[in-house]
């Protein structure tokens, strides 16, 4: 049986999606509760399919999608208003609550697509050096003016990014303009 990653902040959501997929024989599921856990699992086990919610404690589904290899499909399950905010064209989307049959069919389709892709596809490019510099500058300013640690500043930028539905670089630019 193919393996997929089921990644939601909510343990209840993870358990429900896992039960649906495994009971239907559609896939064996690896549960992750953070974007970082997903990244590690995808790279360690060479998995091609992630079913996830939009928001994690350490980033959004869009940020996660940018960090995954192009051979990895992402199925975002969220309420329609969140799906409407998602700007990444390559993310597959299902509106919650999703009927069991639709979820199973979507996962089976993504697994078939994954089998057809070349085994060594170049990963998507990460942020540019200029974007990293802007983000680092925003963190430094937050640390200096608000007395935050680097981790607190990073989380604030992530939260602003997720709350406003923009990329982290855009949230950093807004912080730089405000302060």
The model's pTM is 0.66
pLDDT computed for residue 164 by the predictor: 77
pLDDT computed for residue 123 by the predictor: 46
Question: Angle at which helices 168-178 and 150-164 pack, to 10 degrees?
Answer: 110
With b meaning 16 or more CB within 10 Å and e meaning fewer, what string describes 114-125? beeeeeeeeeee
d(CA 56, CA 10): 9
Alpha carbon separation from 80 to 26, 51, 94, 98, 102 (Å, rounded): 25, 16, 8, 11, 15
E-strand ranges in 113-165 read: none
Residue 53, pLDDT > 90, answer yes
The answer to whether residues 50 and 38 touch, using CB atoms and an 8 Å cutoff, is yes
Tokens (6 digits) for 132? 């990293």
In the chain, the domains with their CATH numbers are: 3-116 (3.40.50.2300), 129-178 (1.10.10.10)
The answer to whether residues 72 and 42 touch, using CB atoms and an 8 Å cutoff, is yes
DSSP output for 81-93: HHHHH---TT-EE
Residue 105, pLDDT > 70, answer yes
Cβ partners under 8 Å of residue 40, min gap 6: none
pLDDT tens-place string over residues 121-179: 444 456 788 888 899 999 999 999 999 998 889 888 888 887 777 788 898 999 999 88
Residue 79, pLDDT > 60, answer yes
Cβ partners under 8 Å of residue 67, min gap 6: 35, 39, 124, 126
pLDDT-derived band of residue 116, with 50, 70 and 90 as boundaries? low
Share of the chain above pLDDT 90, in %: 57
Tokens 């329609």 correspond to what residue? 80
Question: Which of 119, 118, 125, 115 is closest to 4 using CA atoms?
Answer: 115
Q: Across the chain, what does the average pLDDT equal?
A: 88
């Amino acid at each position: 049986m193919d393996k997929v990653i089921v990644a939601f902040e909510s343990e209840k959501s993870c358990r429900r999606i896992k039960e649906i997929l495994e009971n239907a024989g559609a896939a064996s599921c690896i549960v992750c509760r953070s974007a970082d856990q997903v990244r590690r699992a995808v790279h360690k086990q060479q998995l091609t399919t992630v079913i996830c919610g939009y928001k994690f404690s350490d980033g959004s589904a869009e940020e996660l999608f940018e960090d995954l290899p192009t051979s990895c499909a992402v199925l975002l399950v969220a309420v329609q208003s969140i799906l409407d905010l998602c700007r990444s064209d390559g993310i597959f989307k299902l509106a919650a609550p999703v009927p069991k049959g639709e979820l199973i069919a979507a996962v089976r389709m993504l697994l078939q697509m994954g089998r057809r892709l070349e085994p060594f596809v170049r990963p998507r490019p990460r942020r540019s050096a200029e974007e990293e510099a802007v983000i680092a500058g925003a963190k430094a300013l937050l640390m200096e003016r608000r007395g935050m640690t680097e981790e607190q500043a990073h989380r604030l930028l992530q939260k602003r990014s997720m709350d406003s539905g923009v990329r982290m670089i855009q949230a950093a630019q807004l912080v730089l303009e405000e302060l």
